[in-house]
Amino acid sequence: MASHALRQARVLALCQALYTSALSVDLTLTGLVGYTLAPNKALATLPFALITVASALTAIAAAFLIERLGRRPAFCLGGLACMAGGLVSVLAIWRHDFVLFCLGTALVGVFQAFARFYRLAAADAAPLAEKPRAISAVLTGGVVAAVCGPAIAAWSADMMQPLPFAGSYAVVAVFGALSVAVLALAYREPPATAHAAAAVDNLPARPLGEIFRQPVFLASFANNGIGNAVMMFMMTATPIAAVACQHTIKQGAQIIEWHLVGMYAPSFFSGWLLQRFGNPVMLVSGIALSALAAIVALCSTTLPAFYLALLCLGVGWNFMFVGGTTLLTSSYRPAERARTQAASEFSAAALTALATLAAGQVLNQWGWQGVNLAVLPALAVALAVTLAWQRQERLAPSAAGV
């Protein structure tokens, strides 16, 4: 990887660590805080769902702000939104205000909308053959958050007594501030812009409908969109389900910690695996691991089963996410980058938002088994679309794709 691209990938990995740490605090505690504050317990997962709803609603704006202002100013705006979200959440807990808490988590969702472009920024700066490694390099930042995030959430939960969990959301604000500082001091735009690349390419931008109909784009979305929705659907329900199955809040946090390890630790080698074995093997393996997670969770509600299921879910997500993102970067021409990335991130975030909104309702109505049964048909769709793309690649080797 070129030295500039590698250096910026490392900076973005640090930003990814701060983003994932902030998100992991919300992930670990927001369902429980929502359950405490919600006037209707079926709405307990609404605050966490609003992270993905807000992310979906701002994804397109984030993409065009990145294109218009540049990556560094736009990414800094995301960090500022995280600061505001953490502070508003603290205020909501102090006032015991469910609606205000929803606003705080939604602001963290705005941060997520910008942070989802970190991996794409690294991929755009890297040579074609090195894009998978650039993507996985950024995701390695999540390993720190996987180990530290839930622990920080538990450690800081009582930091602002007599307001339980308020200290954890104050830490979220600190992570946002640190993100802004890192971006302002260390991140630099890649030397080649999309516009310069478009001038070399000399190919006109196609309509979005034409881009979306490509098998390579459909396979990208099947793994980025469906894969992320399945992961968030199960993960959102997990802390509440673990407590309902007679496990402690601390054990619920440890389950999420193992899940985050599964999500991000494979990033140290998933880029290499993709280059070594190819994207089809990577994607199918990710789908299979995600399905295995649901099967394990269906078979047992013991603590080891929770650990194993969420670990498999995390690794499956990583394989699908790295492979799907690599496909996304090969689905558009330089002149189409901003529109295609915006549409893809919006669609994936919208689907994830629906999944997280549904998680609380499904868990409340049909229990933990219902949650796990629901993900299997979605994974079957992802597998079918991925195999269709693989078949098209074999029949037309010159088609766009990896």
Q: 3 pLDDT band (50/70/90 cuts)? A: low
Q: What local confidence, expressed as pLDDT, does residue 186 receive?
A: 92
What is the model's pTM? 0.82
At the top level of CATH, which class does the domain 3-395 belong to? mainly alpha
Q: What local confidence, expressed as pLDDT, does residue 169 receive?
A: 94
Q: What local confidence, expressed as pLDDT, does residue 196 receive?
A: 43
Q: 347 pLDDT band (50/70/90 cuts)? A: very high
Q: If you average pLDDT over residues 69-86, what whole number do you get?
A: 96
Q: If you average pLDDT over residues 106-132, what whole number do you get?
A: 90
Q: What local confidence, expressed as pLDDT, does residue 147 receive?
A: 75
Q: If you average pLDDT over residues 325-337, what whole number do you get?
A: 89
pLDDT (tens digit per residue) in 230-270:
999 999 899 889 988 989 877 887 888 789 889 989 988 88
SS (H, E, C) the chain: CCHHHHHHHHHHHHHHHHHHHHHHHHHHHHHHHHHHHCCCHHHCCHHHHHHHHHHHHHHHHHHHHHHHHCHHHHHHHHHHHHHHHHHHHHHHHHHCCHHHHHHHHHHHHHHHHHHCCHHHHHHHHCCHHHHHHHHHHHHCHHHHHHHHHHHHHHHHCCCCCCCCCHHHHHHHHHHHHHHHHHHHHHCCCCCCCHHHHHHHHCCCCCCHHHHHCCHHHHHHHHHHHHHHHHHHHHHHHHHHHHHHCCCCHHHHHHHHHHHHHHHHCCHHHHHHHHHHHCHHHHHHHHHHHHHHHHHHHHHCCCHHHHHHHHHHHHHHHHHHHHHHHHHHHCCCCHHHHHHHHHHHHHHHHHHHHHHHHHHHHHHHHHHHHHHHHHHHHHHHHHHHHHHHHHHHHHHCCCCCCC
Q: What local confidence, expressed as pLDDT, does residue 194 receive?
A: 44
Q: Lowest-pLDDT range, 147-156, 193-202, 284-293, 368-377?
A: 193-202
What proportion of the chain, given as a percentage, has pLDDT over 70?
94
In whole numbers, what is the pLDDT of the chain averaged over residues? 88
Amino acid at position 187, single letter: Y
pLDDT at 166 over 50: yes
pLDDT at 137 over 70: yes
Q: 22 pLDDT band (50/70/90 cuts)? A: very high
Most confident region among 50-64, 85-99, 118-132, 153-167 by mean pLDDT: 85-99
Q: 195 pLDDT band (50/70/90 cuts)? A: very low
pLDDT at 27 over 90: no
